[in-house]
């Protein structure tokens, strides 16, 4: 509305000046003004001396220049101003780059927006155009390092893998810690897998960090809120844009594998021998074992006089990994008339994985339609369609080089009947596909009831469907073997229906009192249905999972979970004299997920801000374009539990009672859930009628500073959050017959500091240089957990036979708990003296430390009760990022660095082959790496803990914008090259990327690619 007014003005003024032109003795200059993506910019003010015009819908302008003038200046809200010398030219085109947000821009805050200068809470904004140009299957990945206080961990490089997003630390032990994602006012759910949105379609992303801003989302606001706003329709002649991005990737880290079969076999024999295997039964002795010939070391070396040198030396890394090629194309159109405006786009995205036969395809379509019905009523719709297709899996390259891929008959080679590790067989024969379809739609009607009162109702629906196809042939995987072929079809579908209705009052009284009030209610229904069809025992593998009914054994499972959320919400913003700002927010949520004793929750918050720059004593300094102090306090909640957790739920199992009745079905207490790493089923199903939301109380103090008309800006925030009534699955005594129960107990605190800055160091006509950065420090601490001082979390790690991540009172969440080690035992006496016995005291083993005993002092034995302590913290001390961008003439160069500092990684992959070579032997008394021993029972100890700090050159983009109109019919062309994950500086294990999940455990995930992209943007 405002924009179209501007346009009308623009046209009017151009005509006016055109008329003036004929009457004055002066030159005429015309041209087109575009943004950095080549789109025409209407409404740009072009000025020369006394003359001022604005650009029209097509971005063109025509201006008169008096004889004595030689400079044209271009300016527009939200864009960097530019001065261009005319020098007798009659055509001058300009490209205006976007600046940091202007103070008058509207920031989306949930159920409405506020001017940036009127913000009272901690809200960060990112423009869609500031997202890195690199392949990313979910938008979340692109947020890494962009916003202070938003931590994004991408632990897997697998195509289609999401990211873990945290705002201001973790605050829930086992409820969700993911922020709420709201897209165009529609609450979608947890962040982390935002695949439905094409990054090219994003206008802006707002992050609500403190309680004042997030309380409007009540029981879902405690983890912060990410508001995504897609590009809106713009009136004008149709604008067509095409963006392409083609990418070639490589492994960013060279895998640490055995260099040859000899070293590998020597190690295996030595490990078996040290592990107690009799000499006659070592693996590599030149004997047939379970039908397979294992060469001897001499034969591998070519030193066996009776046999030729062993010829096989398979380079698995070469077979398993490739340099994948990925593609991304977006075609967008927008335009329309004053009454009907539209914006639509289509995207095709294909990402190939580093592992062979692993790929991810995505198609997205989007339509925004705005219709003005009367002067007061408008309606519109917003539709997104997404289709994805994921095939393949991670493959291991760590297989023995001694054996070939295929045997002499062309079958996949197996070292024994129980060998299911051939990655080529897995890549070729295992079917692992998933397809998803998402349909998201919103219809809204907004009515201006009076000039200060507006009503909006919005009905949104989200439908998500996924189908997984699995088939594992009878001789390729263990599951396939166990079942003589295993096939499955896994169906999932999810339906969300949201209706939101609210009134907005926007009124100014006596120029001094500005009031903005929002109030309304919302209803949300979620239903998730699943069904899994499994077939086992097939005649052959020909049909894969296409005819499950032909399986001898068939298993079905299905489920439905439904929840309803009813809410009332309201917010009032009051500005006094445009200096003193007050905000009060509240939301009441009633959820079916909560226990019958606690159905409704209320979350209030309040904030104040003082615009010092509006005070005359600051104005007189003439230094600050912005100086604002903010303070907020409030409550937010987290209801991150699944439905039905408050009810007791029975499990079901079958038992055989003889041929006559066969299997009978039993029901009873104890609902079997997922298996842990050791195949032990975790049993839950114990109800809790008092189960409710978690409550986070938070304070935020902020300061926004801007100099020189926002050319230099700085934002500082300090916060202190306390979360209580933590939802957690308490591990309960196995003697109860259950393993866990959902309870509310405990408390977590997060305190932190955030800083973000931007500096336009050089802003000249042909050269500009800006630098930005952010820094976030968060101190997380478990304050209380009901009756327990220490609770295990994560999963049991088979290698060390305990959980490594623990919640411990007074420690950060996920702290590593285990033994201390002190190098390697060099003599038996040393081992025994250390309190170790048996095989653990042998020279070459890890020397664990006797820290304490029953009376607090070392007791001469190493035991789990007294000798385990906190051995590491996976939470970084701080996260930082900085970026710089330079533009010179038509070139621009951007670089972004991202770093985390001070986090520990529990490196399960520590004993890589390059380290196994350096193992302890009597001749090489290493104090770093233990001897080869295949029956060692590793203890979880600081032996595995390494510094996970890193600094990464995340992205470098070099672009060139062609002169507009260089090709007829094409308004702009931009070419750019972008490199992602280019360089990582770290002390971590050389064979792996240091970025692991938030649990800080290096599981040896899918490797991360280093991506080299080439992009083209064309506007028609």
Partner 1 sequence: MKMNKIIAGICLAGIASSTFLSCSKLTEEPYGIVNSNSFYKTADDALSGLIYAYAILPEVGYYSRGYYIIMELPTENLTAKSDAGQANFELEQLRTTSTNSDLDNLWTYMYRGIARANAVITNVPNVPNMPDADRNQIIGEGYFLRALHNFNLVRLFGEVPLRLEPLVEAEQIPVAKSSISDLYDVIIADLKKGEELMSAAKNFEGRANRVAAQALLSKVYLHLASAKASGSVGYDFVANSDEMYNEALRYAGKVINDQQVFNFTDVLPDIWNTEVYKNATVSEHIFDAAVDRSGEREGNYSKLPNMFLPDPGFVMTIPYNPSDPNTETINIGRGWNHFQMEAHHYNSYHASDKRKTDLIVSEVINPDGNVIQFGINDFSRPFTRKFIDPLRDADKMSTNSPVIRYSDILLVYAEAAGPTTEAYAAVNKIRNRAGLGPLSPNLSPAAFREAIVEERAFELAFEGNRLFDLRRTNSMEKVLVEKYGKSITSGAYFFPIPQREIDSNPLIQP
- Within positions 738 to 777, which residues make up the interface with partner 1, using CB under 8 A? 738-739, 741, 743
Q: Is 68 in the site for partner 1 (CB under 8 A)?
A: no
Kindly tell me which residue out of 12, 663, 960, 1020 binds partner 1, with binding defined by CB under 8 A.
663
Q: Is 615 in the site for partner 1 (CB under 8 A)?
A: no
Which residue, 308 or 679, is less far from partner 1 as judged by CB? 679
Kindly tell me which residue out of 1, 19, 621, 659 binds partner 1, with binding defined by CB under 8 A.
659
Which residue, 553 or 918, is less far from partner 1 as judged by CB? 553
Nearest approach in angstroms of CB 215 to partner 1 is: 21
CB count in 10 Å sphere of residue 287? 14
Subset of 882-941 contacting partner 1 (CB under 8 A) = 934-937
Q: In angstroms, rounded to a whole number, what is the distance separating the alpha carbons of residues 367 and 238?
A: 14
Which residue, 330 or 382, is less far from partner 1 as judged by CB? 382
State CA 104 to chain mean position distance.
30
β-strand partners of 508: 514
Q: In angstroms, rounded to a whole number, what is the distance separating the alpha carbons of residues 393 and 1005?
A: 11
Q: Is 27 in the site for partner 1 (CB under 8 A)?
A: no
Q: Is 815 in the site for partner 1 (CB under 8 A)?
A: no
Q: Is 449 in the site for partner 1 (CB under 8 A)?
A: no
Q: In angstroms, rounded to a whole number, what is the distance separating the alpha carbons of residues 93 and 81?
A: 14
Kindly tell me which residue out of 2, 616, 621, 656 binds partner 1, with binding defined by CB under 8 A.
656
Kindly tell me which residue out of 285, 459, 870, 956 binds partner 1, with binding defined by CB under 8 A.
459
Kindly tell me which residue out of 327, 688, 826, 914 binds partner 1, with binding defined by CB under 8 A.
688
Q: What is the dihedral of CA 1008, 676, 393, 463, to 10 degrees?
A: -100
Distances in whole angstroms, Cα of residue 990 to Cα of each of 180, 244, 672, 911, 987: 36, 34, 40, 11, 8
Nearest approach in angstroms of CB 589 to partner 1 is: 10
| Residue in the structure block whose two tokens are 């004929």 | 22
- From the list 352, 354, 350, the residue with the least C-alpha distance to 395 is 354
Nearest approach in angstroms of CB 862 to partner 1 is: 10
Distances in whole angstroms, Cα of residue 273 to Cα of each of 284, 772, 839: 11, 58, 13
Question: Is 734 strand, coil or helix?
Answer: helix
Q: How does strand 150-153 pair with strand 123-127? A: unpaired
Q: Is 443 in the site for partner 1 (CB under 8 A)?
A: yes
Which residue, 580 or 650, is less far from partner 1 as judged by CB? 650
Kindly tell me which residue out of 379, 543, 870, 951 binds partner 1, with binding defined by CB under 8 A.
379
Q: What stretch of H or E contains 28?
A: strand 27-35
HEC profile of 779-848:
EEEEEECCCCCEEECCCEECCCCEECEEEECCCCCCEEEEECEEEECCCHHHHHHCCCCHHHHCCCCEEE
Contact criterion met (CB below 8 Å) for 948 and 11: no
HSE value, Cβ hemisphere, 13 Å, CA-based, for 373: 10
Question: Is 1000 strand, coil or helix?
Answer: coil
Q: Is 735 in the site for partner 1 (CB under 8 A)?
A: yes
Subset of 398-417 contacting partner 1 (CB under 8 A) = 416-417
Which residue, 838 or 969, is less far from partner 1 as judged by CB? 838
Q: Is 371 in the site for partner 1 (CB under 8 A)?
A: yes
Ramachandran region, residue 577 (left: φ > 0; alpha: ψ -120 to 50; beta: rest): left
Kindly tell me which residue out of 864, 927, 963, 967 binds partner 1, with binding defined by CB under 8 A.
864
Q: Is 492 in the site for partner 1 (CB under 8 A)?
A: no
| Tokens encoding 683 | 């049993």
Nearest approach in angstroms of CB 658 to partner 1 is: 3
Ramachandran region, residue 375 (left: φ > 0; alpha: ψ -120 to 50; beta: rest): alpha
Q: Is 369 in the site for partner 1 (CB under 8 A)?
A: no
Q: Is 561 in the site for partner 1 (CB under 8 A)?
A: yes
Which residue, 22 or 865, is less far from partner 1 as judged by CB? 865
DSSP 175-192: S--SPEEEETTEEEEESS
Nearest approach in angstroms of CB 211 to partner 1 is: 25
Which residue, 389 or 490, is less far from partner 1 as judged by CB? 490
Using the rule CB under 8 A, give the single segment among 84-92, 104-112, 160-168, 654-662 that binds partner 1.
654-662
Q: Is 558 in the site for partner 1 (CB under 8 A)?
A: yes
Q: Is 648 in the site for partner 1 (CB under 8 A)?
A: yes
CB count in 10 Å sphere of residue 373? 12
Kindly tell me which residue out of 302, 338, 619, 737 binds partner 1, with binding defined by CB under 8 A.
737
Which residue, 289 or 889, is less far from partner 1 as judged by CB? 289
Q: In angstroms, rounded to a whole number, what is the distance separating the alpha carbons of residues 478 and 1012?
A: 38
Nearest approach in angstroms of CB 477 to partner 1 is: 14
Kindly tell me which residue out of 734, 810, 860, 925 binds partner 1, with binding defined by CB under 8 A.
734
Site string for partner 1, 773-812 (x = CB under 8 A): --------------xx-x-x---x----xx----------
Q: Is 657 in the site for partner 1 (CB under 8 A)?
A: yes
Using the rule CB under 8 A, give the single segment among 153-161, 221-229, 342-350, 366-374 that binds partner 1.
366-374
Which residue, 410 or 838, is less far from partner 1 as judged by CB? 838
Q: Is 531 in the site for partner 1 (CB under 8 A)?
A: no
Subset of 936-965 contacting partner 1 (CB under 8 A) = 936-937
Contact criterion met (CB below 8 Å) for 937 and 836: no
Count residues near partner 1 (CB under 8 A).
Answer: 111
Q: Is 654 in the site for partner 1 (CB under 8 A)?
A: yes
Subset of 260-319 contacting partner 1 (CB under 8 A) = 272, 275-278, 281, 288-292
Which residue, 388 or 522, is less far from partner 1 as judged by CB? 522
Which residue, 244 or 537, is less far from partner 1 as judged by CB? 537
Nearest approach in angstroms of CB 445 to partner 1 is: 5
Q: In angstroms, rounded to a whole number, what is the distance separating the alpha carbons of residues 314 and 327?
A: 31
Greatest extent of the chain over all pairs of C-alpha atoms, in Å: 110
Q: Which residues contact 968 (CB under 8 A, 6 or more apart)?
A: none
Which residue, 457 or 466, is less far from partner 1 as judged by CB? 457
CB count in 10 Å sphere of residue 114? 21
Q: What is the dihedral of CA 201, 207, 213, 217, to 10 degrees?
A: 70
Nearest approach in angstroms of CB 293 to partner 1 is: 11
Nearest approach in angstroms of CB 669 to partner 1 is: 5
Which residue, 651 or 794, is less far from partner 1 as judged by CB? 651
Q: Is 598 in the site for partner 1 (CB under 8 A)?
A: no
What are residue 271's phi and psi, to 5 degrees? -65, -40
Kindly tell me which residue out of 28, 106, 629, 680 binds partner 1, with binding defined by CB under 8 A.
680
HEC profile of 208-258:
ECCHHHHHHHHHHCCCCEEEEEECCCCCEEEEEEEEEEEEEEEECCCCCCC
Q: Is 550 in the site for partner 1 (CB under 8 A)?
A: no
Question: Is 114 strand, coil or helix?
Answer: strand
Q: In angstroms, rounded to a whole number, what is the distance separating the alpha carbons of residues 125 and 145?
A: 13
| Tokens encoding 510 | 């006596």
């Amino acid at each position: 509305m405002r924009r179209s007014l501007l346009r009308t003005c623009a046209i009017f003024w151009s005509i006016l000046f055109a008329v003036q032109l004929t009457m004055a003795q002066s030159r005429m200059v015309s041209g087109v003004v575009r943004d950095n993506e080549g789109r025409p910019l209407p409404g740009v003010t072009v000025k020369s001396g006394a003359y001022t015009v604005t650009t029209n819908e097509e971005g063109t302008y025509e201006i008169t220049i008096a004889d004595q003038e030689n400079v044209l200046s271009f300016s527009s809200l939200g864009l960097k101003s530019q001065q261009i010398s005319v020098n007798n030219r009659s055509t001058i085109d300009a490209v205006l780059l976007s600046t940091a947000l202007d103070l008058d821009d509207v920031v989306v805050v949930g159920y409405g927006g506020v001017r940036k200068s009127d913000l009272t809470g901690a809200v960060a904004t990112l423009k869609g155009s500031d997202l890195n140009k690199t392949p990313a299957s979910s938008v979340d990945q692109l947020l890494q390092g962009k916003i202070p206080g938003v931590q994004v961990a991408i632990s897997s490089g697998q195509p289609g893998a999401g990211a873990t997003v945290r705002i201001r630390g973790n605050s829930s032990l086992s409820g969700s810690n993911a922020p709420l994602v709201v897209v165009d006012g529609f609450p979608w759910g947890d962040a982390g897998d935002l695949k439905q949105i094409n990054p090219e379609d994003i206008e802006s992303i707002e992050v609500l960090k403190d309680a004042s801003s997030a309380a409007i989302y009540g029981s879902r606001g405690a983890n912060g809120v990410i508001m995504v706003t897609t590009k809106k329709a713009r009136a004008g002649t149709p604008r067509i844009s095409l963006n392409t991005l083609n990418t070639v990737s490589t492994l960013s880290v060279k895998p640490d594998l055995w260099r040859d079969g000899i070293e590998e076999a020597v190690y295996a024999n030595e490990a078996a021998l040290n592990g107690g295997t009799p000499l006659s039964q070592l693996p590599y002795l030149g004997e047939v074992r379970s039908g397979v010939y294992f060469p001897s070391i001499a034969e591998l070396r070519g030193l066996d006089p009776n046999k030729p040198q062993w010829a096989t030396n398979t380079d698995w890394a070469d077979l398993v990994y490739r340099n994948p090629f990925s593609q991304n194309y977006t075609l967008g159109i927008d335009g329309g008339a004053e009454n009907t405006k539209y914006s639509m786009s289509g995207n095709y995205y294909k990402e190939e994985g580093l592992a062979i036969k692993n790929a991810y395809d995505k198609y997205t379509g989007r339509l925004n339609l705005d219709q003005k019905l009367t002067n007061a009523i408008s309606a519109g719709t917003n539709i997104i369609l997404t289709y994805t297709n994921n095939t393949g899996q991670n493959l291991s390259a760590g297989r023995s080089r001694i054996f070939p891929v295929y045997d002499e008959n062309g079958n996949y080679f197996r070292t024994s009947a129980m060998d299911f590790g051939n990655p080529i067989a897995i890549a070729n024969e295992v079917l692992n596909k998933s397809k998803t379809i998402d349909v998201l739609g919103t219809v809204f009607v907004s009515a201006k009831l009076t000039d200060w009162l507006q009503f909006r109702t919005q009905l949104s629906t989200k439908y998500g469907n996924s189908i997984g196809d699995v088939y594992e042939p009878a001789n390729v995987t263990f599951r396939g073997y166990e079942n003589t072929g295993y096939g499955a079809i896994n169906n999932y579908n999810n339906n969300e229906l949201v209706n939101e209705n609210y009134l907005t009052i926007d009124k100014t009284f006596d120029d001094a009192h500005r009031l903005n009030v929002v109030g309304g209610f919302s209803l949300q229904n979620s239903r998730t249905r699943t069904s899994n069809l499994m077939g086992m025992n097939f005649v052959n593998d020909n049909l894969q999972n296409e005819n499950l009914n032909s399986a001898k054994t068939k298993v079905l499972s299905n489920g439905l979970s439904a929840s309803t959320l009813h809410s009332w919400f309201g917010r009032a913003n009051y500005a006094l004299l445009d200096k003193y700002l007050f905000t009060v927010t509240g939301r009441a949520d009633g959820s079916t997920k909560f226990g019958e004793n606690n159905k409704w929750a209320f979350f209030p918050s309040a904030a104040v801000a003082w615009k010092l720059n509006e005070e005359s004593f600051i104005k007189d300094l003439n230094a600050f374009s912005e100086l604002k102090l903010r303070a907020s306090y409030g409550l937010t909640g987290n209801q991150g539990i699944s439905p039905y957790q408050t009810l007791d739920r029975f499990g079901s199992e079958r038992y055989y009672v003889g041929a006559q009745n066969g299997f009978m079905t039993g029901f009873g207490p104890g609902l079997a859930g997922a298996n842990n790493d050791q195949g032990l089923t975790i049993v839950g199903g114990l109800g809790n009628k008092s189960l409710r939301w978690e409550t986070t109380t938070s304070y935020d103090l902020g300061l926004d500073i801007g100099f020189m008309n926002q050319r230099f800006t700085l934002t500082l925030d300090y916060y202190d959050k306390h979360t209580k009534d933590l939802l957690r699955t308490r591990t309960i005594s196995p003697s109860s017959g259950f393993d866990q129960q959902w309870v509310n107990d405990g408390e977590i605190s997060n305190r932190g500091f955030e800083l973000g800055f931007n500096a336009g160091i050089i802003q000249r006509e042909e050269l500009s240089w800006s630098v930005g950065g952010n820094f976030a420090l968060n101190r997380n601490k478990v304050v209380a957990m009901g009756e327990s001082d220490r609770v295990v979390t994560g999963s049991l790690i088979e290698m060390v036979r305990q959980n490594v991540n623990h919640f411990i009172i007074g420690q950060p969440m996920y702290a590593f708990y285990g033994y201390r080690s002190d190098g390697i035992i060099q003599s038996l006496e040393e081992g025994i003296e250390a309190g170790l016995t048996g095989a653990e005291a042998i020279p070459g083993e890890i020397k664990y430390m006797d820290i304490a005993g029953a009376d607090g002092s070392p007791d001469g034995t190493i035991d789990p009760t007294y000798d385990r302590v906190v051995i590491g913290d996976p939470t970084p001390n701080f996260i930082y990022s900085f970026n710089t961008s330079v533009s010179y003439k038509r070139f621009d160069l951007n670089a972004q660095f991202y770093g985390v500092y001070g986090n520990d990684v529990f490196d399960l992959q520590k004993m890589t082959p390059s380290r196994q070579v350096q193992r302890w032997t009597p001749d090489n008394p290493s104090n770093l790496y233990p001897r080869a021993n295949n029956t060692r029972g590793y203890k979880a100890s600081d032996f595995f803990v390494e510094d996970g700090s890193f600094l990464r050159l995340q992205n470098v983009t070099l672009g060139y914008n062609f002169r507009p109109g260089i090709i007829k019919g094409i308004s702009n062309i931009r070419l750019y090259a972008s490199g992602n994950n280019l360089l990582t500086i770290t002390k971590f294990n050389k064979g792996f990327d240091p970025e692991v999940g938030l649990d800080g455990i290096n599981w040896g995930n899918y490797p991360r690619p280093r991506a080299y992209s080439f992009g083209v943007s064309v506007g028609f």
